[in-house]
Structure 1
Amino acid sequence: MDTMQEITIYIHRFHNLDLFQQGWYKLKITMRWEDNRYSSSGTPARVVQYEAPDLGPGDIVGVWRIDDTNNSFSTYPFRIKYARQDVLLSVMVSFNFPLGKSEVPSTSAVILKFELMFAPISANVSTIEASLDACSAAIHEFRIPPRALLGLHSYCPVHFDVFHAVLVDTTVHISLLKADSHVSHPKVPRLWINWLM
């Protein structure tokens, strides 16, 4: 594997403009190639919580999560109680796409998918994660064109729909990483070294 596509998402803030339902919410992120000829999907590689959450006790349940079965990342579940409520998520997640020599530069776009997951406020605390995983309330997808995969740093606000009036402040950083290649150099024969001395 010589080259890797790295797409990093900074999820700064979840701003509830006017969600119709109070309850538990979380964001789930996945990435895939638009072109089916590219077999691998993006896999979450690293996560950094760059600032502590600002919610009170009982407003956060659990921690962020990486699911290896569907290569997704999910924020921690947080409770929405009123309109115009801000939730500082302050988390960064990097997805990696391994590329072969023949795939650089990429000719396929990447689809970045945000899902808004929901569980009712009455859900039992011990089953909130399972309830959230079962109900996708809204979806927003970005198409990242092949040219942007060579390098990009951009603010990308996420809006869902009129029934899920939310603004998620996100920044997307894209870079093409070249892995170090270890080339073994042939050893000089010992007789040759002795002859030089």
Structure 2
Amino acid sequence: MSEVQATVEFAVELHKFYNVDLFQRGFYQIRASMKVPPRVPNKVEASLLHPAGSDLAFPASVQEDVISSRTYQILYKNEEVAVNDVLLFKVMMLLDEKKVEESLNEMDFQIVLELFFTDGDYSSEDQSSLQSISSRVLRLHFSLQKGIHQQVNIMFDYFHLSVISMTIHASLVALHQPLISFPRPVKTTWLNRNAPAQSKDSVIPNLESVVFGSSYMKQVSPDVSPNQTGGLFLEKPL
């Protein structure tokens, strides 16, 4: 099987945090991470679109592949806080060159959102005082032709009743020969111990032909099938 490296970028903008009925005053923070099916060799890079400067006491930060929003203090019921952090996730994957469209449309992308809290002293240099109190898993139904462009409000559980409003954009941005090494699941069976390497003569499909189809210059269909519409689906808490 010949493989190509596909790169999908996700931009997640956290807008406002709403205190619906939190029962404790203190410092709160949203942490986000991206999950990709382990059967697909992948690498995730996390970053901030506009890293916060020194003017903020508790700025957003990145630790490996987990992004933390700026930390904000909640004091009053029905309080609203403007978070305004833009989180970027770059997902690089190895896919079968003959099944790029099928693989991407069926890929189970997920964003894990966790609500962290502390009622004591907080320091941006030492976040050990923050504890995870609630979480949500957002399943992303990616469409190769349309990507994802949607705004959604995520509500945390009943005991930590609060909402974060967010916008998600995603699209395929690159398709080429593998340029980096990907961690792969350990396979111990004798059947795949001597799997053949990728052929150097394999043909990398053109990005436009993958996204729009080989005949997109001749005819554009007005109909959109259900699996071409990107969307979001909120899972149960972790």
Confirm or deny a common fold (TM above 0.5): yes
Distance of aligned partners of 1:37 and 1:124 in 2 relative to their CA distance in 1, 3 Å threshold: closer
Aligned counterpart in structure 2 of residue 24 of structure 1, from 12, 16, 27: 27
Report the Cα distance in structure 2 between the residues aligned to 1:17 and 1:124, rounded to whole angstroms: 23
Alpha-carbon contact 1:49-1:92 (below 8 Å) kept: no
Secondary structure of the residue that 2:129 maps to in structure 1? helix
Letter in 2 for 1:131: S
Q: Could you give the per-residue CA deviations for residues 90-120 of structure 1, whole angstroms, max 9, x where no partner exists?
A: 1111101112342733232111110000111
The aligned residue for residue 108 of structure 1 is 107
Shift of 1:124: 5.1
The aligned residue for residue 12 of structure 2 is 9
Superposition TM-score, scaled by structure 2 size: 0.63
Runs of 4 or more consecutive aligned structure 1 residues displaced over 6 Å after TM superposition: none
What is the count of residue pairs matched by the alignment?
A: 168
Secondary structure of the residue that 1:163 maps to in structure 2? helix
Distance of aligned partners of 1:41 and 1:9 in 2 relative to their CA distance in 1, 3 Å threshold: same
Shift of 1:43: 2.2
Q: Which has the higher contact order (CA 8 A, sep 6+)?
A: 1
Q: Could you give the per-residue CA deviations for residues 116-143 of structure 1, whole angstroms, max 9, x where no partner exists?
A: 00111x32547762211xx101001111
Alpha-carbon contact 1:157-1:170 (below 8 Å) kept: yes
The aligned residue for residue 130 of structure 1 is 128
Report the Cα distance in structure 2 between the residues aligned to 1:124 and 1:145, rounded to whole angstroms: 37
Q: Which protein shows a greater Rg?
A: 1
| Cα RMSD (Å) | 2.7
Report the Cα distance in structure 2 between the residues aligned to 1:157 and 1:101, rounded to whole angstroms: 32
Q: Percent identity?
A: 21
Distance of aligned partners of 1:39 and 1:149 in 2 relative to their CA distance in 1, 3 Å threshold: farther
Secondary structure of the residue that 2:128 maps to in structure 1? helix
Alpha-carbon contact 1:11-1:171 (below 8 Å) kept: yes
Distance of aligned partners of 1:101 and 1:40 in 2 relative to their CA distance in 1, 3 Å threshold: closer
Q: Kindly indicate whether residue 55 of structure 2 is the aligned counterpart of residue 67 of structure 1.
A: no
The aligned residue for residue 186 of structure 2 is none
Q: Could you give the per-residue CA deviations for residues 43-67 of structure 1, whole angstroms, max 9, x where no partner exists?
A: 21342269x9xxxx9xx74211100
Which runs of structure 2 are paired with 1:77-92 in the superposition (5 Å)? 77-92=71-86
The aligned residue for residue 153 of structure 2 is 157
Secondary structure of the residue that 2:111 maps to in structure 1? strand
The aligned residue for residue 222 of structure 2 is none
Q: Which runs of 5+ in 1 are unaligned?
A: 182-197
Alpha-carbon contact 1:61-1:78 (below 8 Å) kept: no
Q: Which runs of 5+ in 2 are unaligned?
A: 178-238
Distance of aligned partners of 1:40 and 1:149 in 2 relative to their CA distance in 1, 3 Å threshold: farther
Bigger strand share: 1
Report the Cα distance in structure 2 between the residues aligned to 1:88 and 1:149, rounded to whole angstroms: 32
